[in-house]
Amino acid sequence: MKSKRSVILLTIVALLVALAPAAAQDEVTLVVWDNWTRDAEQAMIEQLNAEFEEANPGVTIQREAYDTSDLTDILPLALSESGGPDVAMINQGFTGMGALVEAGLLLPLDDYAAQYGWADRYAEGLHARNRFTEDGATFGEGNLYGVSNTAEVVAAYYWKSDFEELGLSIPQTFAEFEAMLQTIKDADKTPIVFGSLDGWPAIHTWGAIQHAYATLDELDAFMFRREGGTFDTESNLVSAQKMVEWIDAGYFSPGFEGMDYDNQTFGAFLNHNGVMWITGSWMTGSIIEELGEEEIGFFVIPSAIEGAPPLSIGGVGLAYGARATTEHPDLAAAYIDLVTGPRAAELLFEQGFLPAATVDPALLVEGTLTADVVEAWNTISSQNAVGHYLDWTVPDIAANIQELMAGQVSPEGFIQDVESDYQAGGM
């Protein structure tokens, strides 16, 4: 009995030993970390993964999803492990991608970019946001460390019924936009739905005014910390004063200081407790889910500078990058090519996302919110008018804006506070 059992065991072991190397050569597992956590998003990415596995026999995608803040917190450690993700979605800016590059954890993608023609996906000015010098010290130039597949633009959602009732049309100048706010206020409605409890929405609302007065050169120098980069500009001072003026005029939701974003501000807009909402295109899917495509429109806020394009906060979403020590760099690049390419753009668009790559115009339906949002993005990206998220460079600026809004500091004091933070390195 006993000897029989050992024979069987030996045979199995021998078979395994004989088969193992052959199997290992064909079977490859690519570990991917992303932030697609909602049902519709999962369906979209699983579809793409299935298509990738089909096109690359023997490759298995092992996918892990985290929400963005969790992903940002744990990714650095995971990328420094040998078993970490081969491909991961990376947040931009000095504390995100910059720190990872500095620690040598990311793979430069320039060779693959040339091979796959990623330069044509979207404007070079947007690729710059995924660029760092090898030491992680200079943002906006140097190696390419990621490719994005979504885009964002901060602009104004509005209730079409109110515009009709008050005889308003999409403003062509900033002066028109301001006059519109007063018209709405005179009609006893709240012009702009706004809530600043969470901090960051204040960056977008004040930033919308700032982008109307600023030039892209000014903003680029500030964001990428180029020579001459400063917060102490005439345009920043004017927009800080404008913000205070608008608060005094009652253009924002009453009690906005205590309103959070996800429930109270979003709820106030859905309940029609205001005419416009200045926020990012990422809310499009949620708004359509509640109100459909017809009720709400979207437009970019015009520049206050004569003849200038409507510079707006925006950019590309988290970037797909690869781990420096991945054993499958070619495969990782092929995966990045797929999830940021035209097929992904099509699926993203179907899910209500704004793809970074160009959307086929045939897919757009006139008069829908989706079409408005795509048009807004095309307007700013084609005219090189995509602005910046200020907290990439000065992470604490939300607190400064809250102080400005509450009259705790003067506009001049606000400029000085942020400038000294900026000079101290931003943190």
Partner 1 sequence: MKTRFFSSRLDNPPYIHPYQAYLFILPGLIIYAVFVLWPILNTARYSLYDWTGFSDPVYIGLDNYAELWNDDDFWLALQHNAFFVIFYSILPIMLGLFLTALMTRRTLRGMTLFRTGLFIPQVMSPVVVGIIWRWLFAYDGPINELLLALGLDGWVRPWLGDFTWARYAVGGVGVWVQYGLCMVLFIAGAQSINTDLYDAAAVAGANAWQEFRHVTLPGLRQQILVAFVLTFIAALRVFDLVFVLTRGGGPGKETIVTSLLIYREAFQYNRAGYGAAMALVLTVIIVTVSALVMRLQASEEDAQ
DSSP code string of 280-342: EGGGHHHHHHHHTTTSEEEEPPPPSSTT----BSEEE-SEEEEBTT-S-HHHHHHHHHHHTSH
DSSP code string of 346-365: HHHHHTT--BSSPPPGGG--
Q: Which stretch binds partner 1 (CB under 8 A): 156-164, 258-266, 304-312, 327-335?
A: 258-266
Cα 317 off chain centre by: 3
Closer to partner 1 by Cβ: residue 301 or 398: 398
Taking the C-alpha atoms of residue 129 and residue 224, their distance in angstroms, rounded to an integer, is: 9
Closer to partner 1 by Cβ: residue 258 or 292: 258
Q: For partner 1, which residue of 12, 55, 77, 175 counts as binding (CB under 8 A)?
A: 77
Task: Give the bridge partners for 61, in sequence order.
Answer: 30
Q: For partner 1, which residue of 168, 301, 398, 415 counts as binding (CB under 8 A)?
A: 398
Closer to partner 1 by Cβ: residue 318 or 331: 318
In sequence order, the 6+-apart residues with CB closer than 8 A to the CB of 123 are: 381, 384, 386
Q: For partner 1, which residue of 51, 232, 257, 346 counts as binding (CB under 8 A)?
A: 257
Residues 165/324, Cβ–Cβ less than 8 Å:
no
CB of 240 to partner 1, least distance (A): 15
Using DSSP's 3-state secondary structure scheme, residue 150 falls into: strand
Taking the C-alpha atoms of residue 293 and residue 270, their distance in angstroms, rounded to an integer, is: 13
Q: For partner 1, which residue of 303, 347, 400, 422 counts as binding (CB under 8 A)?
A: 400
CB of 50 to partner 1, least distance (A): 33
In sequence order, the 6+-apart residues with CB closer than 8 A to the CB of 3 are: none
Q: For partner 1, which residue of 198, 293, 346, 419 counts as binding (CB under 8 A)?
A: 198
Establish if 179 lies at the interface with partner 1 (CB under 8 A).
Answer: no
Taking the C-alpha atoms of residue 45 and residue 40, their distance in angstroms, rounded to an integer, is: 9
Q: For partner 1, which residue of 173, 189, 199, 215 counts as binding (CB under 8 A)?
A: 199
Taking the C-alpha atoms of residue 1 and residue 155, their distance in angstroms, rounded to an integer, is: 79
Establish if 91 lies at the interface with partner 1 (CB under 8 A).
Answer: no
Q: For partner 1, which residue of 60, 115, 172, 408 counts as binding (CB under 8 A)?
A: 408
Establish if 258 lies at the interface with partner 1 (CB under 8 A).
Answer: yes
Overall residue count recorded for the chain in this entry: 427
Q: Which stretch binds partner 1 (CB under 8 A): 48-56, 70-78, 127-135, 291-299?
A: 70-78
Q: For partner 1, which residue of 31, 32, 105, 311 counts as binding (CB under 8 A)?
A: 105
Q: Which stretch binds partner 1 (CB under 8 A): 11-19, 204-212, 252-260, 350-358?
A: 252-260
Closer to partner 1 by Cβ: residue 51 or 198: 198
Binding site for partner 1 (CB under 8 A): 72-73, 76-77, 79-80, 95, 99, 102-103, 105, 196-199, 254-260, 264, 395, 398-400, 402-403, 406, 408, 427
